[in-house]
Structure 1
């Protein structure tokens, strides 16, 4: 693809990479492998790779996949967890002009099979060295082991050998790089097609917003199979020539150790991770320090004020907030390092995109301060849903506006506050109840780690049901919790039922499975508390 270069005499600063114009995901790697071959690039539980070693491993994997039959335009389904091999697969597919679709190995056989069938992937790759679950999936699919220099041992299984490749385009905006399956969906899979231009735009934005340089050490526990982990963590790190410490799964103690041992300077996580990290740090005998940390970023789920305040008191630096969705690659809004906020606003829109807040009925923009559905338009908007033109047309209109389905409010200072999902809005006796508001109050209780609020239909109305996860080792008094809520919420917002669970169901990214909780709420009697 098109050549690009940055003089080796240029200083390595956050802005130095702006002269680069990569057209494919692997172009960042090619650049830094030439400029700083011996600098650290990736590290997982088994090995550390320099930029030169990573480039060699990507070349070897690309050759191996090509010899195994992967062609430009083919889909490649990667099954695994965060490890060096996952990053190598992403970059090798970019080099081959193939579409990569990373899925978490902890998914069920049914889910893996559904993604394989929908994507018509020519090849399934198991990243087994970091995941016994990946080994089981690939053995079931007839996978055979292969080993390529620097890439470790992989398992290859035929997917759909007769599947036709998709057309290949020179244009970074037209060529699909990744097929991301959205989490928490039911029914037929939704495969989001993201182009090289989509992903490169967000990676560059993430690099700028966090002011990444090649001196940074980024902690990568958010799954690379999720678009947040793929773009804002992996690709943004590589775009800056920085190094990424990969963790297969979130373990509070492991994150705490990495903050000190690995000199982590940039930390990404979902609110549930930060809540459990702080809870671990408050246990007797534990110490939670981050001597090199300069940026802490929250995303992937709503951030509540109590958690933000706790984090900032402990670490002495702002917990930045952001908002996005898979269909937007994913970033839409981001708080700024130079203007930290005390509230839980998601900040202004990222540079280079347009947003509007519209009335749900008329679809006309609403005044500042009023709630409506958030729409956006820009280079981060997906190409569409794979093999689903009708759903694509429903989500992205003829003028290029992506209808997020999220309820937002534009503030006078140009920042956005996310109120909730339009589909999650609870209408109680004619009044709107936004689950995030109730969750914010619940999470502020000292005995609550996490909460999730859902609606439950009852004859002629809808009621509020709250699921709460208590601090380990503590007994949660639901009557005391009700009193706490009555002091802080209007009567129509109060839960009809509070359900205490040892652990709320969540995805690998920490995103709560609210659909499961809605189903559970329907099965529970309103007259009985657990």
Structure 2
């Protein structure tokens, strides 16, 4: 188990410590170029100097509009080294979404990595941003106007200092700023690194957005904490990732199920795994269905490990272990140092094996929601984080997540978990991915509606015939809607809030 008291107090120490101990080891790779830990530390120090020149003070909020790139990583560590807070948002968000985050966090400055992201450049133009005089990886950086009215937050001497505000819309569509401390992020980085068995010789895929907590803490910070090399890509491309795997570039891949589904669809049916030097692959960020797990394992010739987390837990709560891969889709055991409970509506522990709300406690749990004491009080209860997810534990303690409480569908008095219906849909060989939501009906009843992205010709009747022996009548969708592509966030997570907007009033 990682001792939280043995960790540094700032995430910026990850790079500075490695630059001192292994300066020439590769840290980041991007577009055919590699940065050593010493070179990355120089970028961090250069960015910190520029930020001071832009008026950034300890305790200030600094918003970064970017896509994965070396400049983004250097800026995140530079912001941390100044004791400021980073608000890292993906440049692929709409102007409206970015404006909502900005209005809530009131940053001292908004920065745009325009050299690496055309979308960031478009946002910068709308903001009236000006070019920042900088060289190296941060070339192409632009900064919006200084907010002279910004009031800095108090600075904490230890790891309780907030490192990042990570915004999540959850199931409500309203952005909430999750305050993650340096201690939160360092604990997850160190634990993720250890559980993945990472070593300095590893080369990990960096395609998951660093603006998302999974890409930030588990992938980016966890990889660099181990002294390994992270291969950054601004956006996911199934072709590019498959080429990296086949070319022996990567030894570690972490992704969301939607990403793996596209890999499988691109590679096609397999009689044997593709050649690679992969030794570990992991899925997280959204539910994994059994059919996809089997297909990925056939493609890569490795167990596909699974895990569970949420932004409020920085994010990792549980994962399957390297030495104990599972054939099912359990999200594994709680990570060392993290405790879990499964409770009923009154907050009382349920009987072993029963389903209930998952509560979490540990060094990974957020400090709270920024400027939202009411939501914080609802989520943090006596030191426990109420996740809003329904889960159960099997006899050996492994967790199975059944879905969001707010997404539970009540049909004719029966409970329908969307995840179970989605698993049955996704098992069809021509279904790429699916999403199931409830449509309200009179008298408090609901109708099951399935949105499906097909990988080939597929009719409504054929899919209903497929579901008939696999689901009880009350679980079968009353409506099936075929879409060319399901709406997804930059991290690949399906946006059910947008699908609900398609339902009739």
The alignment's TM-score, normalised by the length of structure 2, stands at 0.96
Instruction: Find the aligned partners of 1:21 and 1:249 in 2 and give their Cα distance.
Output: 32
1:120/1:159 contact within 8 Å kept: no
Question: How far did residue 368 of structure 1 move?
Answer: 1.4
Instruction: Find the aligned partners of 2:395 and 2:134 in 1 and give their Cα distance.
Output: 55
Instruction: Find the aligned partners of 1:171 and 1:418 in 2 and give their Cα distance.
Output: 34
Whether 1:190 and 2:176 are equivalent positions in the alignment is: yes
Residue 358 (structure 2) aligns with:
374
RMSD of Structure 2 on Structure 1 (CA): 1.8
Instruction: Find the aligned partners of 1:259 and 1:235 in 2 and give their Cα distance.
Output: 22
Equivalent residue pairs, number: 502
Question: How far did residue 46 of structure 1 move?
Answer: 6.4
Residue 161 (structure 1) aligns with:
148
Partner deviation per Cα, 1:9-54 (whole Å, 9 max, x = no partner): xxxxx99x99963111011111111121111111122632111100
Change in CA separation of 1:154 and 1:117 when aligned onto 2, cut-off 3 Å:
same
Question: How far did residue 148 of structure 1 move?
Answer: 2.5
Query: Structure 2: any 5+ residue segments left out of the alignment?
Result: none
Whether 1:516 and 2:501 are equivalent positions in the alignment is: no
Question: How far did residue 188 of structure 1 move?
Answer: 4.4
2:89/2:211 contact within 8 Å kept: yes
Q: For 1:237-276, list aligned pairs within 5 A.
A: 237-261=223-247, 263-276=249-262
Question: How far did residue 363 of structure 1 move?
Answer: 1.7
Residue 454 (structure 2) aligns with:
470
Instruction: Find the aligned partners of 2:490 and 2:274 in 1 and give their Cα distance.
Output: 25
Residue 478 (structure 2) aligns with:
496
Partner deviation per Cα, 1:375-403 (whole Å, 9 max, x = no partner): 01111110000011111011101x21100
Residue 277 (structure 1) aligns with:
263
Change in CA separation of 1:262 and 1:59 when aligned onto 2, cut-off 3 Å:
farther
Q: For 1:4-403, list aligned pairs within 5 A.
A: 21-45=7-31, 47-151=33-137, 152-172=139-159, 174-184=160-170, 186=172, 188-261=174-247, 263-282=249-268, 289-360=274-345, 362-397=346-381, 399-403=382-386
Change in CA separation of 1:171 and 1:18 when aligned onto 2, cut-off 3 Å:
closer
Change in CA separation of 1:160 and 1:453 when aligned onto 2, cut-off 3 Å:
same
Larger mean Cα displacement after TM superposition, 33-42 or 372-381: 33-42
Instruction: Find the aligned partners of 2:400 and 2:269 in 1 and give their Cα distance.
Output: 33
1:256/1:288 contact within 8 Å kept: no
Change in CA separation of 1:183 and 1:277 when aligned onto 2, cut-off 3 Å:
farther
The alignment's TM-score, normalised by the length of structure 1, stands at 0.92
Instruction: Find the aligned partners of 1:178 and 1:439 in 2 and give their Cα distance.
Output: 33
Instruction: Find the aligned partners of 2:217 and 2:300 in 1 and give their Cα distance.
Output: 26
1:357/1:365 contact within 8 Å kept: yes
Question: How far did residue 515 of structure 1 move?
Answer: 1.1
Question: How far did residue 290 of structure 1 move?
Answer: 4.9
Partner deviation per Cα, 1:435-462 (whole Å, 9 max, x = no partner): 0001001001011000001111112321
Query: Structure 1: any 5+ residue segments left out of the alignment?
Result: 1-13, 524-530
Residue 526 (structure 1) aligns with:
none
